[in-house]
Amino acid sequence: MKKNWWKILGVVLVAHALISGLLLDVPRLDILNETIRNLYFHVTMWFGMIALLTASVVYAVKYLRSGNIDFDDKSISFAKIGTLFGMLGLVTGSVWANFTWGEPWSGDPKQNASAICMLIYFAYFVLRNSLQDEQQRGRVSAIYNIFAYAAMIPLLFILPRLSPDSLHPGNGGNPGFNIYDLDIKLRGVFYPAIVGWTLLGVWIATIQFRIRSVSRALEDN
Amino acid sequence: MVSQVLVLIKKELLSEWRQKYALNGLILYIISTVFVCYMSFGVKTGTIDKVTWNALFWIIILFTAVNSVAKSFIQESHGRLLYYYSIAKAEAIILSKIVYNSLLLLVLSLFGILTYTLVMGNPIQNLLLFLTAVILGSIGFASSLTLISGIAAKASSSGTLMAILSFPVILPLVLMVIRLSKNAMDGIDLSASTDEVLILLAINILIGAASFLLFPYLWRS
């Protein structure tokens, strides 16, 4: 029980995001209106994704330094769940964009950047599957994982900010969360929601990891 | 270390010169691609619009780069790689390959500009800035593609893998280069494009450092 407190915390925080996020009062902004609630579900996915992919890279580095196959299992588990969060972020964003921008895909710089980011991780999975030997697969995919992460940083943090014509709230004169108000009501749900979704992602990733290591142990016997 | 790098670069240049078919093949590759573009647009010189001209040029260079760098590890025989492994440091190998590939790409892109402007017209107003973009682009392409060709060489079906692994990773670089060369085409002064140049330099350093640090792990397997 002592070890599992963070799982309970995660469930409580996600429940908070779901219940308070859908029921509490939100500030009324032009265009956004009620869709501002997507802040708790869409934006938090990106924070969760970056946290999970960072964990994946950290384990990739650990694997390269030690050669312990457990670290490789952890790395791929985190990468998978991180990609899942990224896909969910794209889907929730598209649904939201359909109502606010009028179409699900409008070539927004941030949309493009995240789509490319997904392509990188799909390529990572293809690379993993094309290698047969366990240790070599771990090593080569860890190298690509680190390299891709290093190349992703300019993608996610620099490029969208370079072009001022992003449609996202807060960019290019659109009503935003930061300009007008990320007021106390939003913050009270938004920050816990980030932590909650991330913890949930970590939990799923650890289950993934345990399934992997159990099936590996079964294969070896 | 430095002497090792110099010897290896010299060896690359010599072997390239002695087997001219590879270089001739790449030159013919550029000519045919440029000619295919020229014929399929079906335009007289100078009538194609600037954005298309620019994008098309960089796509041609990108594909040429992927094809030319792919041979640095994929086409080397297993025995020869083993021989390098026994006589040289991993850092020296990657550095020499990157420098050599940068030179190769630079020569190929300069040749590309020549043929491309010959048939598609020459809208470049600030040639110096355009050449800066070409130089920075060649170095960036070389440093990221060299490591990826090393990764792809480890797996089966490395041709496809080379493309899917490299395109998403290289995209931020391509976008920045296209932006910079568009500035050059519009005749904007270098001083107005320092942002782009600096970001390109930063991406190059980031990717180069990542390749340099990661390659020894790849080499060992």
User: pLDDT tens digit string along A110-129?
Assistant: 788 888 888 999 999 999 98
Give the pLDDT confidence of B192-207 residue by residue, as tens digits: 788 888 888 888 888 8
Q: Does B66 touch chain A (CB under 8 A)?
A: no
- B164: nearest CB among A126, A136, A150: A126
∠ CA B9-B15-B20, nearest 5°, is: 125
What stretches of chain A show up as alpha helix (H) in DSSP? 5-23, 43-66, 69-100, 109-130, 134-153, 159-162, 184-220
- pLDDT of A167 reads 66
Say yes or no to pLDDT of A88 above 60. Answer: yes
Residue pair A75/A63 in contact by the 8 Å Cβ criterion: yes
- Please give the model's pTM, rounded to 2 decimal places: 0.84
Report residue A182's pLDDT band, with 50, 70 and 90 as the boundaries: low
pLDDT of residue B103: 92
Nearest CA in chain B to A155: B172
CA angle B35, B39, B43 (to 5 degrees): 120
Interchain contact, B168 vs A127, CB within 8 Å: no
Residue from A121, A132, A143 to probe the interface with B (highest B Cβ count within 10 Å): A143
B46 has pLDDT over 60: no
How many whole angstroms separate alpha carbon B2 and alpha carbon B188? 39
Smallest Cβ distance to B207: which of A122, A151, A162? A151
Residue A179 pLDDT class (50, 70, 90 cuts): very low
**A56-60, A88-92, A93-97, B95-99: which has the minimum mean pLDDT?**
A93-97
Residue entry with tokens 């017209």 = B121
pLDDT band for A173, please (50, 70, 90 cuts): very low
Residue B80 CA to residue A52 CA, distance in Å, equals 40
Kind and range of the H or E element at A182?
Answer: none
Structure tokens at B191: 């001083």
A218–chain B Cβ distance below 8 A for any pair: no
Rg (CA), chain A: 19
Contacting residues of A for B154, CB less than 8 Å apart:
131, 136, 140
- Do A135 and B221 lie within an 8 Å CB cutoff? yes
Confidence band (pLDDT; 50, 70, 90) for A97? confident
Q: Where are the extended beta strands (E) located within B88-158?
A: none
Interface residue B205 vs chain A (CB under 8 A): no
Averaged pLDDT, B151-179: 85
User: CB contact, 8 Å: B162 with chain A?
Assistant: no
* B-contacting residues in A 121-140 (Cβ below 8 Å): 122-123, 126-127, 130-131, 135-136, 139-140
**pLDDT mean over A92-101:** 83
What mean pLDDT is predicted for residues B177-184? 88
Query: Is the CB of residue B35 less than 8 Å away from at least one CB of chain A?
Result: no
What residues contact B150, with CB distance under 8 A and at least 6 apart? B72, B73, B94, B215, B218, B219
The residue of chain B with its CA nearest to that of A115 is B168
Residues of B in contact with A136 (CB under 8 A): 154, 221
Mean pLDDT (chain A, rounded): 81
Name every chain A residue with its beta carbon within 8 A of the beta carbon of B164. Answer: 119, 122-123, 126
Q: How far apart are CA A80 and CA A76, in angstroms?
A: 6
Nearest to B156 among A117, A130, A148 (CB): A130
| B88-103 residue pLDDT tens | 888 888 888 899 999 9
Lowest mean pLDDT among A19-33, A59-73, B26-40: A19-33
Residue A69 near chain B (CB below 8 Å) = no
Average confidence score pLDDT of chain B? 85
DSSP class of residue B156 equals S
Going by pLDDT thresholds of 50, 70 and 90, the confidence category of residue A32 is: low
Name the least confident of A4-18, B73-87, B126-140. Answer: B73-87
Would you say residue B142 has pLDDT above 80? yes
Instruction: Specify the pLDDT at position A13.
Output: 85
Across B145-200, the runs of DSSP E, i.e. the strands, are none
Q: What percentage of residues in chain B have a pLDDT greater than 70? A: 97
Share of chain B above pLDDT 90, in %: 19
Taking the C-alpha atoms of residue B157 and residue B176, their distance in angstroms, rounded to an integer, is 30
B79, HSE (Cβ side, Cα atoms, 13 Å): 0
| Closest by Cα among A5, A10, A8 to A200 | A10
Confidence tier at A178 by pLDDT (50, 70, 90)? low
Reported as type and span, the H/E element at residue B30 is helix B20-41
Q: Which residues, in sequence order, are CB contacts of B212 under 8 Å at separation 6+?
A: B91, B94, B95
